[in-house]
Amino acid sequence: MFYMSRARKVVLVAVVNILIIVGLFLLMEGFFSVLFVGRRIQANKPIAERLHTEYDLDLGWVNKPGVVIENMYGSGIDIRINSQSLRADYDYSATVLPGRVRVICSGDSFTFGYGVANNQTWCALLGEEDKRLEMVNMGQGGYGLDQSYLWYKQGAANLAHDIHLFAPVVFDYERLRLDSFFGYGKPYLMAQDGVLHTENVPVPRQSYLLPWLTRNGRTLQQLRTVQFLQSQRPLPEAEEDYRLDSAQAQEVVALILADLQKISRENGVILVIVYLPTREDYYGEVTDSWRELAQEETARQGILFIDLMPDFQALPPDEVEKLFISEGALVEFYGATGHYTEAGNALVAQLLYEKMRDIPELADKLAQP
């Protein structure tokens, strides 16, 4: 009996020690899991657009009217948004003033002018090439091609203009396949029997109510507890799953271009599709299929097309690097790298004006008294 009791005590002590060790391991596992995720969250940088945009039930987000953010991108590099949610220092009249040619620039952050001041965007600098030009910057950060199209239809409806430069970058063609971007909901377009239908509207608002959680949601999924709970009830693999396959997206692009051309002809506007090169385009890090599609569709539909890629490709790498914001140049925000620098915006404006002057239809418009 004595030996049996002693054996039981030894076993009990061993079991208790094992439980203590397991418990300590679990505590350390949890602690380091939280520490690891905490450091990742601390390293997560905010999205610059959140500072000057607000929720929009039809578009997802749009520039806040009347916002002024001094030193947004550095000392003296401000952002000014007028009451029409456009990047401008003043409001535009509904009609074009006599002797002026009004040009609307549509696109994403490359058009908005991420990283530069209001007067340093390619859209504004294009106006410096010809003082008769009144430039309207309708660029919105983070927009897909679909949102730029919808925003143009909404924002330019009561804004007379002569020329429309629709200037998406390669990423915008991919974004039109999504119903969210960086976790923030957005509309997307579907083609049914040759007609565009807007889906995911009203755009879900949850992500805009809790921006910290939206920004850090994927990082929080690395917590072991969250992973366990997800394993019990699996969630979608990605927050930004494609809603359109490649063929559907190509059809949507074709219909968007057709509708833009229809709107332009009805209002006496000259539509120009512009392909703005990115750093990834230059180094062949993105597919060329969207650029080829834009070339084919504009030719098929009789739409003017300006492609700046050949001009960028003719430059040596050391010159190209000066045209784009380098990694670490704007450390305050996520996603700054790769946008046009002041030099990049200036080159785009110069090239665009030269090519516009070479197109008879545009040259005639620019030459009108």
What is the C-alpha to C-alpha distance for residues 250 and 144, in angstroms, rounded to an integer?
Answer: 14
Query: The tokens of 103 are what?
Result: 């040009």
Identify the bridge partners of residue 334 per DSSP, sorted by sequence position: 47
Q: pLDDT, tens digit, for every residue of 59-112?
A: 999 999 999 999 999 999 999 999 999 999 999 999 999 999 999 999 999 999
**Alpha carbon distance 325, 322 (integer Å):** 8
Token look-up 């690395």 returns: 222
Closest CA to 55 of 172, 204, 163, 267: 204
pLDDT score recorded for residue 154:
97
For residues 325 and 282, is the Cβ–Cβ distance under 8 A?
Answer: no
Q: Of 163, 135, 164, which is closest to residue 148 (Cα–Cα)?
A: 164
Q: Are 132 and 163 in contact (CB under 8 A)?
A: no
Tens of pLDDT, residue by residue over 186-237, are: 999 999 999 999 999 999 998 887 655 554 445 445 445 544 444 444 444 4
3: in domain: no
Task: Please give the pLDDT value at position 359.
Answer: 98
Nearest CA to 244 out of 146, 139, 170 is that of: 146
CATH assignment of the domain containing 356:
3.40.50.1110
Distance CA 125, CA 347 (A): 9
> Is residue 8, in this structure, part of any structural domain at all?
no
Question: How far is 62 from 320, CA to CA, in rounded Å?
Answer: 31
Angle 93-99-100 (CA atoms, 0-180°, nearest 5)?
50
Q: Does some domain include residue 337?
A: yes
Q: Which two tokens stand for residue 230?
A: 């997800």
Matching residue, tokens 């490649």: 246
pTM above 0.75, yes or no: yes
Residue closest to 41 by CA, chosen among 215, 239, 228: 215
Q: What is the pLDDT of residue 220?
A: 42
Residue 283 lies in a domain: yes
| Cβ pair 337, 114 in contact under 8 A | no
Give 169's Cβ-side CA count (13 Å radius): 23
Q: Pick from 315, 318, 369: which is nearest to 347 by CA?
A: 315
What is the C-alpha to C-alpha distance for residues 135 and 342, in angstroms, rounded to an integer? 17
| Terminal CA-CA length for the chain | 115
Q: Provide the 8-state DSSP code for 24.
A: H
Burial group, residue 16, by CB count within 10 angstroms (0-12, 13-18, 19+): exposed
Kindly state whether residue 220 falls inside one of the protein's structural domains.
Answer: yes
73 is a domain residue: yes
Specify the number of domains making up the chain: 1
pLDDT at 208: 81
pLDDT in tens, the chain (369 residues): 555 577 677 667 766 777 777 666 556 555 544 444 444 444 456 789 999 999 999 999 999 999 999 999 999 999 999 999 999 999 999 999 999 999 999 999 999 999 999 999 999 999 999 999 999 999 999 999 999 999 999 999 999 999 999 999 999 999 999 999 988 999 999 999 999 999 999 999 988 876 555 544 454 454 455 444 444 444 444 445 799 999 999 999 999 999 999 999 999 999 999 999 999 999 999 999 999 999 999 999 999 999 999 999 999 999 999 999 999 888 889 889 999 999 999 999 999 999 999 999 999 999 887
CA 75, distance to chain mean position in Å, is: 24
Spatial contact of 191 and 258, defined as CB atoms under 8 Å apart = no
Tell me the pairing of strands 60-63 and 53-56: antiparallel
Domain that holds residue 347: 44-367
Residues in the chain: 369
The CA-based dihedral angle spanning residues 338, 342, 346, 347, taken in that order and rounded to the nearest 10 degrees: -40
CA distance 218 to 230: 12
